[in-house]
Amino acid sequence: MEKKITKIPATIGKYTSKPINSRAKRKVACYARVSTDHEEQQTSYEAQVDYYTNYIKGRGDWEFAGVYTDEGISATSTKRRDGFNTMIADALSGKIDLIITKSVSRFARNTVDSLTTIRKLKEHNIECYFEKENIWTFDGKGELLITLMSSLAQEESRSISENVTWGQRKRFADGKVSFAYSRVLGFDKGENGQIAVNQKEAETVRLIFKLFLEGMTPHTIAVKLTEMGIKSPIGKDKWNRGTIRRMLSNEKYKGDALLQKEFTVDFLSKKMKKNEGEVPQYYIEGNHEAIISPQVFDLVQGELEKRKREKGMRYSGVSIFSNKIKCADCGGWFGSKVWHSTDKYRRVIYRCNSKYNGAKCETPHLTEEEIKGMFVNAYNKLLTEKKEIIANVELMRKTLFNTDDLETERDKLQEDMKILVDMTHNIVAENARIIQNQDEYQKRYDGLVQRYEKAKSQYDEVVYRIEQKETQSEKMRLFIKTLKEQDGIINDFDGALWSSTVAFITVGKEEKTVTFKDGTEIRI
């Protein structure tokens, strides 16, 4: 008996429950994007929007579902393209049946993003049409063509990214500085395009550096600036310690510029990474007018490093007396304590933070008035030997803090390191050209690397010693300057004078000693 086969045609779409021969109009939207804000690109963008709006509305079988756009946005990732993401969300929620785009590269330059998005749309019976390539995604050949075109677009994006990166690094090597004025307090773009100091904002910058040298921490400085109603670099009312910390370390405030602090890891994700030696950096001295003198800036860097190195002793900058009063018994620091905090006898005292930890320290506590009185007494005694002290400190600066020999040693080590790098490059190149014993090559290579690492370690140590001496020398210079400016004895406590002249006070059971920054000790 002959088989009889009867075809039952499909009546429902593969990806939707709608009838296949439904006469409902397709809801059609278009997507337009330009990757820069340049005027010629803006013209292209407007032309895309106008063309597709009229094109869709001119079709009787289509219903205009809107135009989705992104301006000045790269297509290497869909994450930051708000217009694109809104369009996809609307399509998946049933507001769009067909998406029209000028070309695959306008849709996405990331092959994975492009295919993932198109497949997700296809599962919901949403088609895409790329006019330039004449690709319909429901066509059997559509996905293959899109894969090829997206790959080409991604490769083009990679090439553009490499060219841009090369251009940036060439500008860095030429000493051309790009500046984010909106995020750096104290500078504006001048009329000639050069970096200019904003004098009003510069006052805030100088205040931050001054407060830090007076003993405050980045956190307490942030609190103070917030209370003063000063706006942060990005215009916020509230400051945070991270902003203060970055400002204190920003070499631009002393007129210099460090280029390529960060670099792009991946051209698709645009992810940035802090440059830890992976790519070259360029340091430009005297690039623009300074807000902070190089000496004061370097003094702040030394203080930042000092506080960082004092492990086990948490630095406090709650008041100008924090980390300035030392216990003679245990060597720890005094901290502030509040007595009678809830009644009329309330007062603030300072005592050893380790007084009741383990063996009890026998050092007495001090009130703020006692500390202030000790300083006035000691400073006036210091002034009686003013000329002799100034002469001694100036001699110390010339002898103990002279860095000439260290700088000679640093330059020699730097030259040695350069020679070792050249030798390493030469043997690597030689090994690539000439067949040789690999064990012997590895031994030579390892030997050069070890010599370089040893020289680098010595270089870092010498540089640190130079910085320490320069920091101490600057402290001495400021100390001398303060003494010279003081005409007579003082009758009242001066906070700025305290911060600029006193290293610390040592409190013992029977006596107290004020140690000034030049090393002079005066017993009270």
Which helix H or strand E contains 218, and what residues bound it? helix 218-228
pLDDT tens digits, residue range 368-379? 888 888 888 888
**Cα–Cα distance for residue pair 18/125, rounded to 1 Å:** 10
| Cα Rg of the chain, angstroms | 35
Q: What is the pLDDT of residue 37?
A: 47
Ordered by where they begin, the domains of the chain are 26-161 (3.40.50.1390), 181-309 (3.90.1750.20), 325-523 (no CATH)
33, pLDDT greater than 80: no
In order, the DSSP letters of 64-78 are EEEEEEEES--SS-S
Contact 109, 76 (CB under 8 A): yes
- The helix/strand/coil state of 504 is strand
pLDDT tens digits, residue range 122-178? 888 888 888 887 878 787 665 666 666 556 555 555 555 555 454 455 554 555 556
Contact 248, 225 (CB under 8 A): no
Describe the crossing of helices 111-123 and 82-92 by its angle, rounded to 10 degrees. 20
Q: What is the pLDDT of residue 147?
A: 62
Mean pLDDT computed over 96-109: 79
Q: Work out the mean pLDDT of the chain and round it to a whole number.
A: 77
Q: What is the pLDDT of residue 484?
A: 83
302, pLDDT greater than 50: yes
Positive or negative, the CA dihedral 108, 112, 117, 119 is: positive
Contact 106, 131 (CB under 8 A): no
Q: For 238, what's the count of Cα atoms within 13 Å in the CB-facing half-sphere?
A: 1
Q: What are phi and psi of 60, to 5 degrees?
A: -70, -25
Q: For 454, what's the count of Cα atoms within 13 Å in the CB-facing half-sphere?
A: 8
pLDDT-derived band of residue 415, with 50, 70 and 90 as boundaries?
very high
Q: For residue 263, what are the β-bridge partners?
A: 273
Mean pLDDT computed over 28-34: 84
Ranges of H-type helices in 310-385: 368-383
pLDDT tens digits, residue range 334-365? 888 877 666 777 778 888 877 666 667 888 88
469, pLDDT greater than 80: yes
